Chain A
Amino acid sequence: MKKILLTSFAFTGITLLVWLFGATSCFRNTYNVLYERIDSRLYRYEEDTYHNLIREDTGLAAYATVPREHLLLSGHLFMHLFLTQAHTGWNNLGTRAWAYKPGPAVYHHQERIKEVRIITLHDYNQSYPAGSDMAPICSFYAPDNSGQWVDRAGLYEKINTIQEQRMELLNFIDARLMESPQNAANEQQFVIQVYTDKGEMLSDTTLPVFIQ
């Protein structure tokens, strides 16, 4: 009886020890991230009291009419994620105890976004004829979901933070226009372009809409 009790205590102690090691260790998957493509769409959106964007599930249909205040130009970034290492904690038990406490994934951005342009395909107003970059009159929704609207410089700052901290992915570049078109009867269409530090450009064209 004594032996049985001692044996069971020993097992309990070992299990506790393994659990403690597991709880203090961290299992992390590390991914290398490359952008695959950008998908540009226009959405009708609202903003709630917490500054969260509430967009319609599907983008605007071609030649839909939308008030400028509710028009969201959205570039959805698709990515390739390559699992490169499964990080463990400071000891072996960490790899076995990962199920107890999986750590957040780490994303190594293998290329950086260095520039974002929103090109209009039609004359927007006198200052922005067809072919010009509309980004100076755009306000960008902070990609860190902080609920802030920032200018292009602020957007770059947020993007750099995301890429350096390696804890998040950059999924969307959302923008709204701060000026109205000169003629609401003219259709408007945009190209969202993203330039990477590797010298490549990802771009996609939205459907045409009428902006009031």
Chain B
Amino acid sequence: MKKICLCLVLLCTGAGMAHAQRNIFASKARQKMQYRFAAELAVQQQINGVDLVADEGTGPSVLRLPAQNNIGLSLNLLGQRDRRYFRFGLGLLGQASGFSVSDPQSGRVLYRADYTNYYMTLKLALGYTVKYWNKGSRLDLELGYNPYIHLNKETGVVLVTEPYVVNGQQYEGLKAYVDYDYGKTNADIDYPPLTILNFSPVYQSPVLFGRSALRLGLDVSYKLGAGAKFGTTNAAEVAVFKGDGDRSIIAEQRYIDRHFTLGIVLGLTF
């Protein structure tokens, strides 16, 4: 454990890298950079509750954000020298995003949105092999910085109405206001770059056939750069009205997506 912590600290600083190079492997001859490709599949579970980061409204909670799954595919180039390696890759990520708005008085669902974000990610990472086993299997720790672009986006306003009757005349009364953004909808805002910061401990098996080995890892990801600005990433503002002709707001809530995910990565080197 102590060794892992030390390695992490060393990984995170350039000085640490230099220190590691000088002291830990001083006795070993420097190896040439070795390159491998790796195809990876990641399945991530969104952690519920983290999404609702900007509860600026009043009244009871009306937004529900079900924890769903992300799926990612990537093709990577891994370059390794000694125990250090870098990753450069391109990936596709599908993120199931949706929310529902309910009436705080009756609990009825007034509006439900389903959407899947698709991103293209540039995968940049630095890794360190903390442990080798006899048969060639190993344990890597990796810290990644993945800028991404939105492949799809959508924005809109939905007014949810419910009928009510006054003096025998039927009207459509306003019940909820839903303003949603999926993806980067405001082209004017181009900073800070939206990125996914991830940390992955990865186990790599011994060579199974040819040069190929299996990689199995855990993935902890957090979306960076999704500030409290509209139009940078998934967001919604909702207001629920009293209804039956009374447009007083009884609940107002907002969320901005800063997905925190836990996942499993399965890869094959070649």
Contacts and interface: CB of A to CB of B under 8 A. Distances in A.
Given A34-B174, A200-B174, A201-B171, A86 B230 contact: yes
Contact of A200 (B172, B188, B190, B249): B172
B248 interface: yes
B247 A35 contact: yes
Given A88-B189, A92-B190, A200 B230 contact: no
Interface string A64-84: 000000000000000010111
A200 B237 contact: no
A25 to B, nearest CB: 10
Contacts of A59: none
A125 to B, nearest CB: 25
Contacts of A199: 161, 171-172
Interface string B173-208: 110010100000010111100000000000000000
B109 to A, nearest CB: 21
Interface string A105-117: 0001011000000
A88 B248 CA distance: 31
B159 A198 contact: yes
Contacts of B217: none
Contacts of B94: none
Contacts of B189: 88, 95
Interface in A82-122: 82-90, 92, 94-95, 108, 110-111
Contacts of A88: 188-189
Contacts of B159: 34, 110-111, 198
A86 B245 contact: no
Nearest to A92: B191
Contact of A86 (B172, B177, B191, B229): B229
Interface of A is mostly: strand
A158 interface: no
Given A32-B157, A89-B188, A110-B157, A198 B247 contact: no
A84 B249 contact: no
A55 interface: no
A94 B231 CA distance: 16
B239 interface: yes
Contact of B177 (A82, A90, A201): A82
Nearest to B169: A201
27 contacts: A32-B157, A32-B179, A34-B174, A34-B247, A36-B248, A37-B247, A80-B177, A80-B239, A80-B249, A82-B239, A84-B237, A85-B230, A85-B231, A86-B229, A86-B230, A87-B186, A87-B188, A89-B188, A94-B188, A108-B157, A110-B177, A111-B159, A198-B159, A199-B172, A200-B161, A200-B171, A200-B174
Identify the 4 closest CB pairs spanning chains A and B, nearest first. Answer: A199-B172, A88-B188, A36-B247, A85-B230
Given A84-B157, A108-B157, A199-B171, 16 more contacts: A32-B179, A34-B177, A34-B247, A36-B247, A80-B249, A82-B179, A83-B230, A84-B237, A85-B186, A85-B231, A86-B229, A87-B186, A95-B189, A110-B177, A198-B159, A200-B173
Interface of A: 32, 34-37, 80, 82-90, 92, 94-95, 108, 110-111, 198-202
